[in-house]
Amino acid sequence: MGSADAGETRVERERLEPWLTDASLAVAVTLVISLVIAADADSSPVPGIAWALGFGALLLLRRGLPLTVLAVTVFGIFAYYALDLPPIGMVLPAVGVLYSTAEVRRTSWAVVGAAVLVAVSTFYRFDDLDPRAQLTGYGFVTELALAAAAIALGSVVRLVREIRTQSARIAVLTAAEESRAAEARMQSERVRIARDLHDTIGHTLSVASLHTSVAAEAEDPDDRTAALERVRGATSEALRELRRTVKVLREEPADETTPGPASALGLASVTTVVEAARAAGLDVDVAVSVDPASLPRAVDAAAFRIVQESMTNVLRHSAAAAARVSARVSGDELIVRIVDDGHGGSADPEPGAGIRGMRERAGLLGGSLEAGPTAEGFTVTAHLPIDVEEEE
Q: What gap in Å lies between CA 324 and CA 274, rounded to an integer?
A: 10
Residue ending a domain, among 136, 166, 192, is 136
Return the CA Rg of the chain. Answer: 43
As a whole number, mean pLDDT of residues 21-35 equals 83
CATH number of residue 377's parent domain: 3.30.565.10
Task: Let me know: does 344 contact 378? Beta carbons within 8 Å.
Answer: yes
Q: What gap in Å lies between CA 280 and CA 315, rounded to an integer?
A: 8
Residue 343 has pLDDT above 90, yes or no: no
As a whole number, mean pLDDT of residues 343-359 equals 64
In a domain, 355, yes or no: yes
Q: What is the average pLDDT score of the chain?
A: 77
203-212 residues labelled b (16+ CB within 10 A) or e (exposed): bbbbbbebbb
The count of structural domains within the chain is: 2
Task: Let me know: does 382 contact 369? Beta carbons within 8 Å.
Answer: yes
Residue ending a domain, among 80, 103, 136, is 136
- Give the structural domain span for 354: 280-392
Residue 75 has pLDDT above 50, yes or no: yes
In a domain, 185, yes or no: no
Residue 203 has pLDDT above 90, yes or no: no
In a domain, 92, yes or no: yes
The predicted-structure confidence for 219-259, as pLDDT tens digits, reads as follows: 777 777 777 777 777 677 667 767 776 666 666 544 443 44
In a domain, 387, yes or no: yes
Q: Which residue has the higher pLDDT, 338 or 93?
A: 338
Which pLDDT band, with edges at 50, 70 and 90, does 10 fall under?
A: low
Write down the pLDDT at residue 326. 92
Q: What gap in Å lies between CA 314 and CA 284, rounded to an integer?
A: 11
HEC per residue, 31-93: HHHHHHHHCCCCCCCHHHHHHHHHHHHHHHHCCCCHHHHHHHHHHHHHHHHHCCCCCCCCCHH
Our CA angle for 329, 334, 337, nearest 5°, is 100
Per mean pLDDT, which of 143-147, 212-216, 223-227, 322-326 is the most reliable? 322-326
The predicted-structure confidence for 110-141, as pLDDT tens digits, reads as follows: 898 888 888 887 776 665 544 444 444 556 77
Which pLDDT band, with edges at 50, 70 and 90, does 12 fall under?
A: low
In a domain, 158, yes or no: no
Which pLDDT band, with edges at 50, 70 and 90, does 374 fall under?
A: confident
In a domain, 63, yes or no: yes
Question: What's the pTM value of the predicted model, to 2 decimals?
Answer: 0.47
As a whole number, mean pLDDT of residues 302-320 equals 83
The predicted-structure confidence for 161-170, as pLDDT tens digits, reads as follows: 889 888 888 8
| Phi, psi angles (nearest 5°) of residue 112 | -60, -45
What count of other Cβ atoms lies within 10 Å of the Cβ of residue 254?
14
Which pLDDT band, with edges at 50, 70 and 90, does 263 fall under?
A: very low
Which pLDDT band, with edges at 50, 70 and 90, does 346 fall under?
A: very low
In a domain, 18, yes or no: yes
The predicted-structure confidence for 168-182, as pLDDT tens digits, reads as follows: 888 888 888 888 887
Q: Which residue has the higher pLDDT, 139 or 94?
A: 94
Residue ending a domain, among 119, 136, 153, is 136
Residue 370 has pLDDT above 80, yes or no: yes
Our CA angle for 368, 196, 311, nearest 5°, is 65
In a domain, 107, yes or no: yes
Q: Are strands 283-288 and 322-330 parallel, antiparallel or unpaired?
A: parallel
Write down the pLDDT at residue 5. 55
